[in-house]
Amino acid sequence: MTAAVSAPNGVASCVIPPAGLDVLIRALRARGYRVVGPTVRNRAIVYEELTAAAQLPVGWTDVQDGATYRLERRDDDARFGYAVGPHSWKQFLLPPRLRLLRVRRTPGGGADAGQDGGDGARGGGTEDDGGYAGKNGGYDGSSGGTATAGPGPGRLDFEEEPPPTTRLALIGVRSCELHAIAIQDRILVAGRYPDRDYTARREGLFIVALNCHEPGGTCFCVSMDTGPAVRQGSGYDLVLSEILTGEHRFLVEAGTGRGAEVLAELTGPPAANTGVTTGSTGADDRTAAGGANSRSGDEPAPARPATSADWEAAQTGVERAVSRMGRTLDADNLRDLLAANLEHPRWDDVASRCLTCGNCTMVCPTCFCLTVEDVGDLAGGEAERWRSWESCFSLDHSYLHGGPVRGSSRSRYRQWLTHKFATWHDQFGTSGCVGCGRCITWCPVAIDVTEELTAIRANSVPGEPVS
């Protein structure tokens, strides 16, 4: 007897009890993944490394509005009964700070000979290295490894930061977040300038998605057509639906072959498992699952095949989420609307409220701007190149030959909003917004993109500036 049945659409699936999440986390860790998922820290639900399902935000939800986020107790033990929090997965795929390069200088030879005679022999040696080794292919920005440069004031050794080797598994990725990851993929993997570090993190990624049943007060994914249901084939390995009506359970579906392999481990001991089917056998199935008898006593309750009631409950959860969006936005042709309203008086209005603090860009799951800085030690012997999240709200971001191009906060807010909702289409083929609502919740003064865009649309003044 099989422990998993075919979904209506033919993918491998099963139903697990909440304790089955521990099996999932263990299975992923056993495969060498560092598992990252939601947990409560400092009165918010953040994304951190998980080693056990007990770290999930059991029984917590969040109440969100502009500039306010509060955790509250639920009257059930939901594991994913919250909306998105202050973190996005870019925390892990595009880290806030990353060392790119290390440079070490070994004194000797040339100009420093008198100062450091003891190293003369080594310094002399670098003279024969034929100049900048970069020419020889050592440091070309993509190959990794080390290179040397000399002669001159000693010898310079360049060591590029190797790409990360730890593979990540993300648990609880909502549809809006899958769309955000896909947007960053288009820019950082498939774009004109692929990012080596991001690509390495992305390639090893295992995604456990989540059908969103619990939108927040600032969510508007329905308006942006990015959720709340996870779309089949949208890049996840597994997708969960948390069902709270009746018996507390999770409907698990596989989206990839490796997802199906992990799913098979949920349904029975790996050695004994024969459970997963990917065919289209008809599936009714209120019968108890197989595999249970083969489990030892300390194993969680076993998985069982999904029933039509499970599918219906999961579908109902998504439908209820659709009707509970905290925000709505008329997203129809925002590109042309904004292009035609670059002198709209609303820009002055929002500029009077905008703090130019950059919080919206930092919490946005698609914002990808980075700044690169070199730091050196006092002796001039070592230097490092670091990159960090940057914001288009900083003056440095548009600093060119002696001054910032976007000096006013009006121009900076307009740049952000028009890029996100309009010129992003021209540049990357989609909107830059997935409707997750983070920029609304985490703006310290509650500036709401849906309100700003609605105000511009309500009083669209194409062409002439309004005085």
Closest distance to another protein from the beta carbon of 236 (Å):
24
Q: Residue 315 or residue 398: which is nearer to another protein going by CB?
A: 398
- Which positions lie near another protein, rule CB under 8 A? 41-44, 46, 67-70, 86-87, 91, 96-97, 114-115, 352-359, 362-363, 373-380, 388-389, 391, 393-396, 409, 441-442, 444-446
Closest distance to another protein from the beta carbon of 161 (Å):
17
Q: Residue 250 or residue 347: which is nearer to another protein going by CB?
A: 347
Please answer whether residues 290 and 268 qualify as being in contact, where contact means their C-beta atoms are separated by less than 8 angstroms. yes
Q: Residue 91 or residue 307: which is nearer to another protein going by CB?
A: 91
Closest distance to another protein from the beta carbon of 363 (Å):
7
Q: Residue 344 or residue 397: which is nearer to another protein going by CB?
A: 397
**How would you list the strands of the sheet with 370-376, edge to edge?**
146-149, 155-160, 97-106, 382-389, 370-376
Closest distance to another protein from the beta carbon of 373 (Å):
5
Closest distance to another protein from the beta carbon of 171 (Å):
18
Closest distance to another protein from the beta carbon of 99 (Å):
14
Q: Residue 385 or residue 419: which is nearer to another protein going by CB?
A: 385
Closest distance to another protein from the beta carbon of 267 (Å):
36
Q: Residue 225 or residue 377: which is nearer to another protein going by CB?
A: 377
Q: Residue 39 or residue 226: which is nearer to another protein going by CB?
A: 39
Three-class SS of the chain:
CCCCEECCCCCEEEEECCCHHHHHHHHHHHCCEEEEEEEEECCEEEEEECCCHHHCCCCEEEEEECCEEEEEECCCCCCCCCCCCCCCCHHHHCCCEEEEEEEEEECCCHHHCCCCHHHHHHHHHHHCCCCCHHHHCCCCCCCCCEEEECCCCCEEEEEECCCCCCEEEEEEEEHHHHHHHHHHHHHHCCCCCCCHHHHHHHHCCEEEEECCCCCCCCCCHHHHCCCCCCCCCCCCCEEEEEECCCCCEEEEEECCHHHHHHHHHHHCCCCCCCCCCCCCCCCCCCCCCCCHHHCCCCCCCCCECCCHHHHHHHHHHHHHHHCCCCCCCCCCCHHHHHHCCCCCCHHHHHHHHCCCCCHHHHHCCCCCCEEEEEEECCCCCEEEEEEEECCCCCHHHHEECCEECCCCHHHHHHHHHHHHHHHHHHHHCCCCCCCCCHHHHCCCCCCCHHHHHHHHHHCCCCCCCCC
Closest distance to another protein from the beta carbon of 58 (Å):
19
Closest distance to another protein from the beta carbon of 3 (Å):
39
